[in-house]
Structure 1
């Protein structure tokens, strides 16, 4: 739903004699606490927390109280939540409870706003809206957005106009998942609204009002200055049979799935869920679906009334047919059939009316199993559901919580006679890299602690050591090139920061904890960087929606000042590690905690090799086996099996033997930059590796990464023919196509603008290189036009429902003249449509970013 104008008089008449959902004892106690705190007329600022665990009806409790006590007084309501799912849940709950609004008002206008195409756009907001339900991220963005009218005058956004209009009508603000309130963007939004509306009441809803970080905990109770108004304990509600005890059952599907770098970055760095093509693959897997069916059939008496969460309409139909074949009364509800269909009829197999009929029949007991695609997460209340099947893993903690919540009603909440437990069946695949999937919490509460993203410290050490061993083996020379402890970190920083997750399907905010490995070579430099940056970090880096690329642009100078990429960039990860630290510094205002790896010296293979290198093979084998299998030893964690450990030992011993015979390895002599002969025209392998590592192993012009069909080359910025020297500073990484186009010209694509460049000449439109994306070709064309890396990003969507599907936004780094490009707007659009094969693009806009 996006907007509903309700006739309350008619609704009351149609529902005469119906008393609505019965309130439980903890909800009645909540009403008393809320009414005691929020008195009327509103006076000053008051913020309080309502703490109810998942399944205890936080949304219903708040909405019903608001209907009876806030909307009845013609006070506006702003409801903020972290995801599209939670918006729909809140909206549905309002629609179900508006009849409880006293006869003091006759109409109610309800609007839902987010980036979801099913919801209203922020530009649709009217001052006549009575209940405005929107994502926190959209509210933050639109409150701070200051557009200009046709005359160049700055004007307020429609959302800010709505808030401003509440100075007279007053406003009651609800923040769902209130433990996110201390996040930079959220807390500033609430502070700004408070400054605009002196008489403001704020209610926070959460399952666990604790915070691991003292600074954030302090912010939480500054915002909610009245503290916890009422808290219902999970254990008490379970003991009273209001909630069911969740019993988690893990079932391995036996499916092994590869995780390439692109997928890993999506899940771990970009904080998104599985891409559509993998979800499709899992949904089509008939053997996997048969396993899910057999799990229910084999345990029918245990699982009872069950909701199965599937991903695609055809998966619903397959599961349904197989269950029916085995004598299970089963139905399925879904809406979207084919995202590429051309008409609503083609896209929708089931009408809303038919879905509602099936859901009603499931509620009444006609079916044992109901299969759905994301339709049972949104405020649907069927208390006697005993089991939920989660057919795949997800990175979305909110979605996980919503799905689990469908089964958590206990006997006294309508869960059915004798219902004290809820079965949560998790179908798990074997992913071949460590992914931090959303994990349920044993007592059914939401998790306010940061999710550890990426690997834990000792897993990082293992990954690093095995990567190093693999390089040695693949080189054909089983030879360690440095003392062993240079590969073992001295310790690690634990960063913590909140990010906004936004795509076509969801908006969420999630707090992550990540570990940054620190080594001998860079420990002191990290300390200096953190100390110097603590009070100088740009304030905008605290924004949960900021892109890593913007931070990386700022970091280029900082890295040059504080670090030496040839020594400090262990594993080529330094830039990404500094992004984590920068986000932490900006959001928390203090250094991340440093943990020392105290056992480090216990794992010095150099010392082991020094003792064993003169011994016979049998003696070595005995000692190394004992070392590897020693109780409490981390060697098994680091190398996982003895053969890897033995290979690492051999490489260390070979290095020490070579030093004994030939003396220490001499460093490569520096290049004489004054001699310009063909003999030093080609960079050495060492220098090439330094340049590639510095540039992140991708073309600094078009951004293509090394991979299938993409060849990276190290190119002179000032050509050798113009007396350019072969030094790291005068080299850059280009793909084969960009290097060929640059030719003998001097262009530095490490520069983001050219301060001394007069107006550029005509654009040279470049053909697509192989299977590269249209955006990559467009970036190459524009960057050559500006003679630098002018393009910061191109905003585009590949789905029709995406905001940037028919209108692409070209973001140029600040300093590049936008007008130069806009003079070629029509031919540039024609190039995108015809040459790059994107006829759906109807408009190109160009903006400048800092």
Structure 2
């Protein structure tokens, strides 16, 4: 059937209904194809607007440009016109049995009960350990049940929905003994949520993003808070609490009310004394309760994860525009051309099937996450052709419910699915998860691998196989990898140097490195200290230029801490903010080599324009230019005369070495610097005053 405007818009509306937030974002080119049009005439625009109005659907863009004036490669969003802006009333259900808590959750709640209120402390439980359940249990019992208002703060829209879902699940009469319903508002810029203006004094829980709350904080206080009122505040992802936006909210609310502040984090802090002073200052009562991944695995609550990453060999992806990359980060959706390219990529799909077939005895019952319906069908066909019992399941398609039942009954070895996460389907005995679709959302990644992470105590398995199929993407895209979510601090430091997390030295990086360090300043330090450990690489969105910011070891922690807490400020505040950043994060290090205020400005400008924080790419070839290591080896091996010369010449002429490149193929300069390193080793006291 040839597509028409009425038919195309009707199908688009039906597809919107199936989506979680009931909206859809596609490129103008795809939209025009859906409605069977090639050109935008006045008559066509009027006809589309008429049908949109009849269907009660509106079309708009994030830039504010009218839909019919967008370029073919730009994005247009469709959503329902009438968004209900009433409080989210959560019904308090009658419960025959209390919600089952694990031992560590009971321990955490007991510790919270023993801590005198008001307090300001942290609850630290790893991903998958149920810290949200503990926090919600506590706020319902000690907050709503006792007439205290609750403010839940987070920095992401998806975390708002997750918190609301947990509150709805736990809202039973054994925790809330007064009232039959709870008035709960979701506050963010998302169309499915509300603004601060909608909050009423009778609302019991407000869940909001820090940006939306901070933007109208005075209105929140005026309409919702009473003077000297007791209030519970939950800060999701507590490491963000030291940012200026959070600090403004918490300090301002504390002046009017009496807050008890609970920070949630999956990071296994040992003690806040070891962390930044600002975090310790905000959570003055330190850690209320903490638990590590090893304990959850030992108790059988989590399965022991075994991560495997397979490179698909996909390198020549369709070119991505800046708008495409921004859309990936904000909406976690691949552009249609890229999604189609990966969907039909025969070698990629063959690798997925081959990996399972070759290790079937290890993987067992496996859930595959596909990109879209077509991808699920193609993979299913290939699995079956390989002699593996498989089928696919698409969320919202009733005709495929039989496939899900067969998988539960162990009649299928493999189930390929799309959007199963919204189904609430219980599949405790899944042994393996194949991640055949990329995601930039930590929440989605957690949900996907969580399908296999249930331990024996939780009705699952003792171990879980997590297989991630990795494509070669531009460095500017920050995809979430599964092992990022289940690593302790020590493992995180090690992970920074894993092969796939690092980038090679390039001629351009070496050239920038050489030119950025004055000779006298460089010679005042051991050579190894002057080799960058990583680089922030991104494209300036306004100048369309590639930016490389070299990061040295003594500055890396300061950069990462600042970026973790970075927020957008008003234009007139940027200079002052950058000045404060230099003083508070870099302190005395701002006077050392490698620090440049323009680098801070470039990083902030990129974040403010794209709402994406650049990723520090750690360099993997530092040893190829490490003259300090050469000097140490010469000293240890006691090389002199011809032996020493032969050793030096070998490294100078080595094809894989960047030493010659760094010194501009000036061997004399290289020998001078090497001798300086040797003297530093032989007589370090000569350099004590310099260093």
For 1:85, the equivalent position in structure 2 comes to 158
Q: Following the alignment from structure 1 to structure 2, what is the Cα–Cα distance between the partners of residues 235 and 372? A: 30
For 2:70, the equivalent position in structure 1 comes to none
What is the CA-CA distance between 1:389 and the residue it aligns to?
1.9
Q: Following the alignment from structure 1 to structure 2, what is the Cα–Cα distance between the partners of residues 622 and 249? A: 43
For 2:365, the equivalent position in structure 1 comes to 305
Contact 2:533/2:552, CA 8 A, preserved across alignment: no
For 1:797, the equivalent position in structure 2 comes to none
For residues 167-199 of structure 1, the C-alpha deviation after alignment (integer angstroms, 9 at most, x for no partner) is: 5874322122212222222233222222221x2
Contact 2:272/2:280, CA 8 A, preserved across alignment: no
For residues 772-819 of structure 1, the C-alpha deviation after alignment (integer angstroms, 9 at most, x for no partner) is: xxxxxxxxxxxxxxxxxxxxxxxxxxxxxxxxxxxxxxxxxxxxxxxx
Q: Following the alignment from structure 1 to structure 2, what is the Cα–Cα distance between the partners of residues 581 and 5? A: 36
For 2:472, the equivalent position in structure 1 comes to 430
2:518 is the alignment partner of 1:464: no
For 1:67, the equivalent position in structure 2 comes to 140
For 2:448, the equivalent position in structure 1 comes to 403
For 2:171, the equivalent position in structure 1 comes to 98
Contact 2:91/2:168, CA 8 A, preserved across alignment: no
What are the equivalent positions in structure 2 for 1:226-305 lying under 5 Å apart?
Answer: 226-257=285-316, 266=325, 276=335, 277-305=337-365
What are the equivalent positions in structure 2 for 1:653-802 lying under 5 Å apart?
Answer: none
Closer, same or farther in 2 for the Cα pair 1:456/1:56, shift >3 Å? closer
Q: Secondary structure at the match of 1:241?
A: coil
Closer, same or farther in 2 for the Cα pair 1:422/1:255, shift >3 Å? same
For 2:430, the equivalent position in structure 1 comes to 385
What is the CA-CA distance between 1:208 and the residue it aligns to?
2.1
TM-score by length of 1: 0.49
For 1:220, the equivalent position in structure 2 comes to 279
Q: Following the alignment from structure 1 to structure 2, what is the Cα–Cα distance between the partners of residues 86 and 380? A: 20
Q: Following the alignment from structure 2 to structure 1, what is the Cα–Cα distance between the partners of residues 186 and 380? A: 33
What is the CA-CA distance between 1:76 and the residue it aligns to?
2.5
Contact 2:90/2:184, CA 8 A, preserved across alignment: no
What is the CA-CA distance between 1:303 and the residue it aligns to?
2.2
Q: Secondary structure at the match of 1:61?
A: helix
Whose Rg is larger?
1
For residues 234-256 of structure 1, the C-alpha deviation after alignment (integer angstroms, 9 at most, x for no partner) is: 22221121221110011121212
What are the equivalent positions in structure 2 for 1:200-219 lying under 5 Å apart?
Answer: 200-210=259-269, 217-219=276-278
What are the equivalent positions in structure 2 for 1:89-238 lying under 5 Å apart?
Answer: 89-100=162-173, 101-143=175-217, 156-157=218-219, 159-161=220-222, 164-165=224-225, 167=227, 170-197=230-257, 199-210=258-269, 217-238=276-297
For residues 652-672 of structure 1, the C-alpha deviation after alignment (integer angstroms, 9 at most, x for no partner) is: 48999xxxxxxxxxxxxxxxx
Q: Secondary structure at the match of 2:313?
A: strand
Q: Following the alignment from structure 2 to structure 1, what is the Cα–Cα distance between the partners of residues 350 and 496? A: 33
Q: Following the alignment from structure 1 to structure 2, what is the Cα–Cα distance between the partners of residues 70 and 397? A: 29
Q: Secondary structure at the match of 1:88?
A: helix
Q: Following the alignment from structure 1 to structure 2, what is the Cα–Cα distance between the partners of residues 385 and 32? A: 33
What is the CA-CA distance between 1:517 and the residue it aligns to?
6.5
What is the CA-CA distance between 1:121 and the residue it aligns to?
4.5
What is the CA-CA distance between 1:124 and the residue it aligns to?
4.0
What is the CA-CA distance between 1:203 and the residue it aligns to?
1.6
Closer, same or farther in 2 for the Cα pair 1:650/1:108, shift >3 Å? closer
What are the equivalent positions in structure 2 for 1:28-43 lying under 5 Å apart?
Answer: 28-37=106-115
Closer, same or farther in 2 for the Cα pair 1:552/1:402, shift >3 Å? farther
What are the equivalent positions in structure 2 for 1:300-699 lying under 5 Å apart?
Answer: 300-323=360-383, 326-334=387-395, 350=396, 368-373=413-418, 376=421, 382-415=427-460, 419-431=461-473, 437-441=479-483, 444-445=486-487, 462-464=506-508, 491=530, 515-516=550-551, 544-546=567-569, 575-576=598-599, 579-580=602-603, 626-628=650-652, 641=656, 652=666
Contiguous gaps of at least 5 residues in structure 2: 1-20, 22-83, 514-518, 537-547, 580-592, 608-621, 632-642, 671-691
Contact 1:244/1:409, CA 8 A, preserved across alignment: yes
What is the CA-CA distance between 1:622 and the residue it aligns to?
7.6
Q: Following the alignment from structure 2 to structure 1, what is the Cα–Cα distance between the partners of residues 465 and 199? A: 42
Q: Secondary structure at the match of 1:256?
A: coil
Closer, same or farther in 2 for the Cα pair 1:517/1:75, shift >3 Å? closer
What is the CA-CA distance between 1:495 and the residue it aligns to?
11
Contact 2:89/2:182, CA 8 A, preserved across alignment: yes
Contact 1:171/1:201, CA 8 A, preserved across alignment: yes
Q: Which moved more, 1:111-120 or 1:575-584?
A: 575-584
Contact 2:148/2:232, CA 8 A, preserved across alignment: yes
Q: Following the alignment from structure 2 to structure 1, what is the Cα–Cα distance between the partners of residues 502 and 384? A: 48
Contact 1:308/1:390, CA 8 A, preserved across alignment: yes
For 1:46, the equivalent position in structure 2 comes to 119
Q: Secondary structure at the match of 1:250?
A: strand
Aligned-CA RMSD value: 5.7
Q: Secondary structure at the match of 2:281?
A: helix
Q: Following the alignment from structure 1 to structure 2, what is the Cα–Cα distance between the partners of residues 357 and 194? A: 54
For residues 265-323 of structure 1, the C-alpha deviation after alignment (integer angstroms, 9 at most, x for no partner) is: 95899999685243443234243233223333443442233333333343234334444
Contact 1:542/1:583, CA 8 A, preserved across alignment: no
Contact 2:363/2:431, CA 8 A, preserved across alignment: yes
Q: Following the alignment from structure 2 to structure 1, what is the Cα–Cα distance between the partners of residues 647 and 532? A: 34
Closer, same or farther in 2 for the Cα pair 1:46/1:514, shift >3 Å? farther
For residues 148-182 of structure 1, the C-alpha deviation after alignment (integer angstroms, 9 at most, x for no partner) is: xxxxxxxx44x4445x4355874322122212222
Closer, same or farther in 2 for the Cα pair 1:35/1:381, shift >3 Å? farther
Closer, same or farther in 2 for the Cα pair 1:62/1:386, shift >3 Å? farther
Q: Which has the higher helix share?
A: 2
What is the CA-CA distance between 1:648 and the residue it aligns to?
7.9
Contact 1:320/1:332, CA 8 A, preserved across alignment: no
Contiguous gaps of at least 5 residues in structure 1: 40-44, 144-155, 335-349, 470-481, 498-512, 519-525, 531-538, 557-569, 585-595, 605-618, 630-634, 657-850
Q: Secondary structure at the match of 1:70?
A: helix
Aligned residues: 519
Closer, same or farther in 2 for the Cα pair 1:274/1:491, shift >3 Å? farther
Q: Following the alignment from structure 1 to structure 2, what is the Cα–Cα distance between the partners of residues 579 and 51? A: 34
Closer, same or farther in 2 for the Cα pair 1:361/1:376, shift >3 Å? farther
For 2:539, the equivalent position in structure 1 comes to none
Q: Following the alignment from structure 2 to structure 1, what is the Cα–Cα distance between the partners of residues 424 and 113? A: 25
Q: Following the alignment from structure 1 to structure 2, what is the Cα–Cα distance between the partners of residues 291 and 649? A: 44
